[in-house]
Chain A
Amino acid sequence: MTEYLRNNADTVWLALQEHVWLALLPVLLGFVIALPIGYLGVRFPALYHPLVNTCGVLYSIPSLALFVFLPVVLGTKVLSPVNVVVALTIYTVALLARTVADGLRSVDPVVVQAATAMGYRRVRRLAGVELPMALPVILAGLRVATVSNISLVSVGALIGIGGLGQLFTRGFQLFYIEPILVGIVLSVLLAGLADLLIVLVQRAVTPWTRAV
């Protein structure tokens, strides 16, 4: 395996980089899109159940189907990485919109009322009270979305894009185990590292959850 790595360092490095941004850009986009959607699901309680159902349906679409289907809808090239980014963004939104809504719903209404009674207006209250209090739940969802995106990117290799997934396809094509092993190890490491990073951020921004 080290032998393979030494000879193909450039290829592996490029694949890893591609994997990182193919997985993480959708996390970022999905999070930004999910925040307002999740908020609407709480602000207007009638929207909550439709939101949960829609998210469930979206999340259950097989990723390969989405990768193949998206170029038709978006008019992108079949090999365009945009397809992967859009597909994973959809999954992330499906996961996080619900998480954001659940996180906001988990905030003690008594505390929200106290904030209102102290003179918070809606937007500032959301940013200063409700979102921070929902963070533990939201960040837990973000961990799941990140790790699942990192593994889903590899599926993109089946349609010719896909970071470390390319190492799998190459291995299969050449009946050669080394690249497959490297691909697996690196994507597991990457997932672990991303997860760890989020946990560290979580500890830094929610110190009160450990104060008992």
Chain B
Amino acid sequence: MITFEDVVKVYPGGSTAVDHLSLELPTGKLTALVGPSGCGKTTSLRMINRMVTPTSGRILIDGEDVAGRDEAALRRGIGYVIQHAGLFPHRTVLDNVATVPVLLGKTRREARAAAQELLERVGLSADFAKRYPAQLSGGQQQRVGVARALAADPPIMLMDEPFSAVDPVVREQLHREFLRLQEDLGKTIALVTHDIDEAIKLGDRVAVFRQGGRLAQVGTPRELLAAPSDDFVAEFVGRDRGLRGLSFDSAAGLPVRPVDGLLLDDAGRPLGWPGDDGPRDTGGTFTKDDSLRVVADLAIRSPVGIAVRVGPDGAADGLVSHHDLADYLAGRRS
């Protein structure tokens, strides 16, 4: 666990970048630090690995004050990923990834062998190993950056806008891969972003900062969306904007209509909606465990504007039209 204890950072020149920050980043979880530009996210992150020294307050890792640790040794145990990756242009991809293990005293051979495996893990084939960073796309560089941070298998990772320099499609893909990786690895991660969607998607917990380096609220994405502590957070997480909030509402309480008009197989599983050229695909189904966002998606995609719910056995057990959903949401709001 990483603990900020009443941490203040005032830069020379007088600007307060971080103002009395107390925050816990639980072990094995990803905590997203999010907020408008200049609110002290990067500064907070860089105090963890002592790239920035707090003006007052303490930062503890598993109860131990980082100020008492040898800087270089501390940093070798903390993965670090930044925007544009910050790769070494004069080293091959493989040697970039091998950097920290070599610093830790592994032979170059051992480190390269391990690096090779890691590259595959972040979705880069062996062909990339011998290339230089200038020969990679932005997304590929970012993958190498993640592999480099993971190379020494540090328990902690600090990531400063790691996915913001790539286009939305690549970012989406990197998000998916990264979530899968984190599921396996269970690192303690602090991830800085100014994109609330990214924070909600990737974060187990989200810490919202406001101007002046003050923590506005911290909680699970769901808590933040359900109960923003004030107008700033409410507006920042954009509770009322679009479908975002629906991601955290379960479909369990959503009333359904009896199944009617849907073509079913012998086991009651949906085959599709009747059409002139045979059954038309329902576009997918949802269960009680899915979110309302999934239901909304299905209702919109469905050829007849109706989402199909199935039970654990896969048999259709209810229908929801987009009118039903709209009524339900309207009723909930009032």
Contact = CB atoms under 8 A, between A and B. Distances in A.
A and B bound? yes
Interface of A: 108, 110-111, 113-121, 124, 129, 132-133, 135, 206-208, 211-212
Interface stretch (B3-11, B78-86, B176-184): B78-86
Given A119-B73, A119-B76, A133 B86 contact: no
B231 to A, nearest CB: 36
Contacts of B135: 211-212
Given A110-B82, A111-B89, A206-B90, A118 B134 contact: no
Contacts of A115: 88
Given A119-B75, A211-B134, A111 B103 contact: no
Q: How large is the interface on B (under 10, 10 to 19, 20 to 34, 35 or more residues)?
A: 20 to 34
A208 B73 contact: no
A119 B89 CA distance: 18
B141 to A, nearest CB: 12
Contacts of B84: 110
Given A118-B75, A129-B88, A208-B90, 17 more contacts: A114-B82, A114-B88, A117-B51, A118-B76, A118-B80, A118-B99, A119-B72, A119-B73, A119-B103, A132-B90, A133-B88, A206-B90, A208-B91, A208-B132, A208-B134, A211-B131, A212-B135
Interface string B273-288: 0000000000000000
Nearest to B145: A114
A211 B136 CA distance: 10
Contacts, number: 62
A121 B73 CA distance: 9
B307 to A, nearest CB: 47
A206 B134 CA distance: 13
Most buried by A among B46, B90, B99: B90
Contacts of A120: 72, 103
Interface string B30-53: 000000000000000010010100
Given A118-B76, A211-B131, A113 B51 contact: yes
Contacts of A114: 80, 82, 86-88
A130 to B, nearest CB: 10
B115 interface: no
A117 B75 contact: yes
Contacts of A207: 132
A121 B72 contact: yes
B106 to A, nearest CB: 13
Contacts of B82: 110, 114
B100 interface: yes
A88 B49 CA distance: 47
Contacts of A119: 72-76, 100, 103
A118 B90 contact: no
B49 A117 contact: yes
A115 B87 CA distance: 9
Nearest to A110: B86
Interface in B91-114: 91, 99-100, 103
B132 to A, nearest CB: 4
Most buried by B among A114, A135, A206, A212: A114
A111 B86 contact: yes
B84 to A, nearest CB: 7
A132 B90 CA distance: 7
Interface string B52-69: 000000000000000000
A158 B199 CA distance: 75
B80 A117 contact: yes
